[in-house]
Amino acid sequence: MNTQQHIPTAEIADRHRQRTAVAFLAMALMYLAMAAEHLVEGIVGEYLEVGIIGMALLVLALLLPVALWKIRKLPGSERHLYFSSDGFTAQTLSQALRASWGTTLVTIIILAIFSDNKYLSGLSGEFYLQLVVAIMLGVVSTAFLVLNGRSARFGLEEAASA
């Protein structure tokens, strides 16, 4: 007797998008630590290195199962459902990406305005790139998780009142 129940492909896609958002948050923290390494020395830099390795392993642990599932278990007939942009979670991710790009653009403009600052002009381009990528990934993941969490709470409240 098979007690395993079938989970719809669309629901699996939603779960994978949520995992990806958490992985983006871990990547944002990783890039932030990489940028911070330019500002610190000594033991703090070594701790940041360990944190970067830990975040990289976390990202790998979050995304590798998703990639393997797509390769092994995603039926060709259901690919359109998995990659569909019609679902709520896909649209939420799209909103989060738009917010991230806007925030990234504003960040770049602010950094350009203050680029003549004596302290900021001494930092490498690598620092700024890591900082901008950290902000971009942090905003997209946070926006997605907040928007997705709000909808989940609203759905629970709606179901409780019914």
Dump pLDDT digits (tens) for 153-162: 544 444 444 4
Residue 4 falls inside a structural domain: no
Question: Which carries the bigger pLDDT value, residue 86 or residue 99?
Answer: 99
Domain containing residue 154:
9-161
SS (H, E, C) the chain: CCCCCCCCHHHHHHHHHHHHHHHHHHHHHHHHHHHHCCCCCCHHHHHHHHHHHHHHHHHHHHHHHHHHHHHHCCCHHHHHHHCCCCCHHHHHHHHHHHHHHHHHHHHHHHHHHHHHCHHHHCCCHHHHHHHHHHHHHHHHHHHHHHHHHHHHHHHHHHHHHC
Does 1 map to a domain? no
Does 141 map to a domain? yes
**Highest-pLDDT range among 66-75, 113-122, 123-132, 136-145:** 136-145
3 — pLDDT class (breaks 50, 70, 90): low
pTM above 0.85, yes or no: no
Number of domains in the chain: 1
pLDDT at 152: 54
Residue 3 lies in a domain: no
